[in-house]
Amino acid sequence: MAQIMDWFYSHRYTIGIVIGVIFGVVARLNMLRTDYRQYPTYPHGKIIHISLGVIAAGLGAVAVPALLDKNYTAVTFLSLAAQQFRDVRNMERQTLTKIDELELVPRGAAYIEGIAMVFEGRNYLVIFSAFVASLFSILLAWYWGLVAGVLSIFIANYFKSGSNLSKIADIEQAPIRLDGPDLFVGSIYIMNVGLEDSRRKIQEQALGFIIKPKNRNSRVTLANLGQRQAILHDISTLFGVFRDEGEPSLLPMAKLEMSSGVLGILLLPQEKDADRTLIALHRVPVLESAVRMPSEAGVNQQKEA
């Protein structure tokens, strides 16, 4: 028994690095999903991100022995890793921007930046998981490293996802109304539809929804053009869009009622299912770049007081 314990102690750095890398890779696999947006693509998009996850896991695990041996110069490679992951973010941004030019309902710059930010941030979560698992394995024992690694994956899983529309707004279906060429969703004016054929298609295929912000912060967030475009793109990806190139009158739209901050949504899905569309709207992500907190400003807090 003593010999086994001596062996574990003498190889504690190797064991810690291996455990750290394993949990780092597991954390990346846990955060890697190809969902209805089909991004990252399968298989090559996934291969790229898994490979980067292995690199990030190795960096996080190796950092612990370097620190314990007081080899502080070696830890500076983490700054190089940060630069590499920023390049990953830039690569994702450029790729998605090129793809967006071919979308019938584009994502928009804000949505693309949010996706690129997520892929960069998840590599840092991988480093965190690998670092924690390696640290506990080396300082305490390998089984404590396993416990710490499992906990770190739960923490990474918590931070991997953000908010959705259901948390900031109330959503309900609203009737589509055509007053001559003027198109309304509920009482919100959307646009002027001049062609009779387009009006007929809208009456047959369109769905209307009203999104009511829950507070003043939500009102400003919904007013963001990037957030509106993200809503239209997500629903069009899920249910298709009843239009082709060169038909601007059949483009899904989101218009704001200025007096109340209520957002009117006009959708033209290929699969017209109001109930499923309502559920999907509740799950649309709230973009980090669109979130605004005017109530937290000192001048507004003084006014409320």
Per-residue pLDDT of 211-224, as tens digits, reads 999 888 888 888 88
Q: How far does Cα 151 stand from its chain's mean position?
A: 22
As a whole number, mean pLDDT of residues 79-101 equals 81
- pTM of the predicted structure, to 2 decimals: 0.80
As a whole number, mean pLDDT of residues 279-285 equals 90
User: If you search the block for the tokens 């062996």, which residue do you land on?
Assistant: 7
Q: How far does Cα 181 stand from its chain's mean position?
A: 38
Helices (H) and strands (E) in the chain, counts: 11, 7
Q: pLDDT tens across 54-74, in order?
A: 888 888 888 888 888 777 776
Structure tokens that stand for 216 in this block: 């003043």
Residue count of the chain: 305
3-class secondary-structure state, position 262: strand
Q: pLDDT tens across 15-43, in order?
A: 888 888 998 888 888 887 766 555 666 67
Is pLDDT of 76 > 80? Answer: no
Structure tokens that stand for 280 in this block: 């999907």
What pLDDT score was predicted for residue 301? 62
Q: For residue 236, what are the contacts with CB-CB under 8 A and spacing of at least 6?
A: 104, 105, 252, 267, 269
270 burial via Cβ count (<10 Å: 0-12, 13-18, 19+): exposed
What pLDDT score was predicted for residue 92? 81
What pLDDT score was predicted for residue 209? 93
Nearest to 115 by CA among 43, 220, 57, 33: 33
Q: List helix spans (H) across 72-211.
A: 77-100, 109-139, 142-159, 196-205
What pLDDT score was predicted for residue 138? 86
210 near 171, Cβ under 8 Å? yes
Averaged pLDDT of the chain:
82
Q: Determine if residue 70 is left, alpha or beta; phi over 0 gives left, psi from -120 to 50 gives alpha, anything else beta.
A: left
Burial state string for 61-74 with b = 16 or more CB within 10 A and e = fewer than 16: bbbbbbeeeeeeee
268 near 243, Cβ under 8 Å? yes
Is pLDDT of 226 > 80? Answer: yes
Q: pLDDT tens across 144-179, in order?
A: 888 888 898 888 888 777 788 888 889 999 999 888
Structure tokens that stand for 41 in this block: 């693509």
Structure tokens that stand for 87 in this block: 């390049």
User: If you search the block for the tokens 């507004």, which residue do you land on?
Assistant: 300
CB atoms within 10 A of CB 113: 20
Is pLDDT of 116 > 70? Answer: yes
Q: How confident is the model at residue 210 (pLDDT cuts 50, 70, 90)?
A: very high
What pLDDT score was predicted for residue 211? 92
Q: How confident is the model at residue 304 (pLDDT cuts 50, 70, 90)?
A: low
Q: How far apart are CA 151 and CA 156, in angstroms?
A: 9
Structure tokens that stand for 69 in this block: 């041996």
Strand segments, DSSP code E, in 207-275 are 207-213, 253-257, 262-267
φ/ψ of 215, rounded to 5, equals -155, 180
65 near 130, Cβ under 8 Å? no
